[in-house]
Amino acid sequence: DTEVTQTPKHLVMGMTNKKSLKCEQHMGHRAMYWYKQKAKKPPELMFVYSYEKLSINESVPSRFSPECPNSSLLNLHLHALQPEDSALYLCASSQDSGAGFNEQFFGPGTRLTVL
Amino acid sequence: AQSVTQLGSHVSVSEGALVLLRCNYSSSVPPYLFWYVQYPNQGLQLLLKYTSAATLVKGINGFEAEFKKSETSFHLTKPSAHMSDAAEYFCAVSRSGAGSYQLTFGKGTKLSVIP
């Protein structure tokens, strides 16, 4: 199984809502990533988890809160978002984060709209 | 520091014509290079990667790329374009050692295929 799955596919939320994005992989990868992608732009790295521990936070606002319950699952909790946070949120995984030659496998993304 | 420059934000080719998407990189250490494709409203799919084993790399869907150290280039080619190749293409670079988690993307090239 070489697939990264993400749910939901689409999410619309108000600025006062709390919601979560979910990502799952069963490739035995020990590194997982969250990216944000705006229209016509490349993905921007938000967080890196390595062996279930948060290793990189790219100065992401605290209204985004990642969680890695186990080696296969990655969540992104959303609270009090702003309209400018509307984007495609991509999850990715790789064998580990310490070897640059390991490709990252991307999920299909969650299209988030903040009203 | 590492960076990627993709020449041409939009490339149009006729069906059956050669596809050439340009990528130049900058890296202070030997790089690992990747080409990803993104279809509308989908995640990124790996086309091919260079990890120093061979300078000519063959990927999926008939694509290949050649690593040229002297030109710091990793251009993507396909002999004959199909309509299904229409998508956004991203070149990316990573590295070994410190910061190896960082996958630095180019700005992307949108490929249009004209019937």
* Candidate from A31, A100, A107 with C-beta closest to B32: A100
Q: Can you tell me the distance from the alpha carbon of B53 to that of A36, in angstroms, rounded to the nearest whole number?
A: 32
Contact between B108 and A43 using a beta-carbon 8 Å cutoff: no
Chain B positions touching A43 (Cβ under 8 A) are 44, 105
Under an 8 Å CB criterion, which residues of A touch B?
Answer: 4, 6, 31, 33, 40-43, 45, 48, 50, 55-56, 88, 90, 92, 97-101, 103-109, 111
Please choose, from the candidates B107, B83, B108, the residue with its C-alpha nearest in 3D space to the C-alpha of residue B13: B83
Residue A78 has a pLDDT of 97
pLDDT at position B52, please? 80
Pairing label, strands B10-14, B109-114:
parallel
Q: Read off the pLDDT of each residue in A90-94 and give the average, rounded to a whole number.
A: 96
* Of A20, A18, A17, A14, nearest in space to A89 by CA: A20
State the burial class of residue B58 (Cβ atoms within 10 Å of its Cβ: 0-12, 13-18, 19+). exposed
Separation in Å, CA of B110 to nearest CA in chain A: 9
Q: Do B90 and A109 touch (CB under 8 A)?
A: no
Contacts of B97 in chain A (CB under 8 A): 100
Three-state SS annotation for B28-70: CCCEEEEEEEECCCCCEEEEEEECCCCCEEECHHHCEEEEECC
Residues A1-42: tens digit of each pLDDT: 669 999 999 999 999 899 999 999 999 999 999 999 999 999
**Separation of alpha carbons B43 and A43, rounded Å:** 10
- State the pLDDT at residue A1: 64
- DSSP label of B8: -
> Which tens digit of pLDDT belongs to each residue from A55-87?
998 999 999 999 999 999 999 999 999 999 999
What is the number of other CB atoms lying within 10 angstroms of the CB of residue B65? 26
Q: Residues of B at the A interface (Cβ-Cβ below 8 Å)?
A: 32, 34, 36, 41-46, 49, 51, 90, 94-97, 100-103, 105-108
Put simply, the answer to whether B44 touches A40 (Cβ < 8 Å) is no
Closest approach of chain A CAs to the CA of B72, in angstroms?
Answer: 18
Q: Which residues of chain B have pLDDT under 70?
A: none
* Nearest residue in A to B98, CA atom: A98
Residues in chain B closer than 8 A to A54 (CB atoms)? none
For B99-114, the pLDDT digits (tens) are 777 899 999 999 999 9
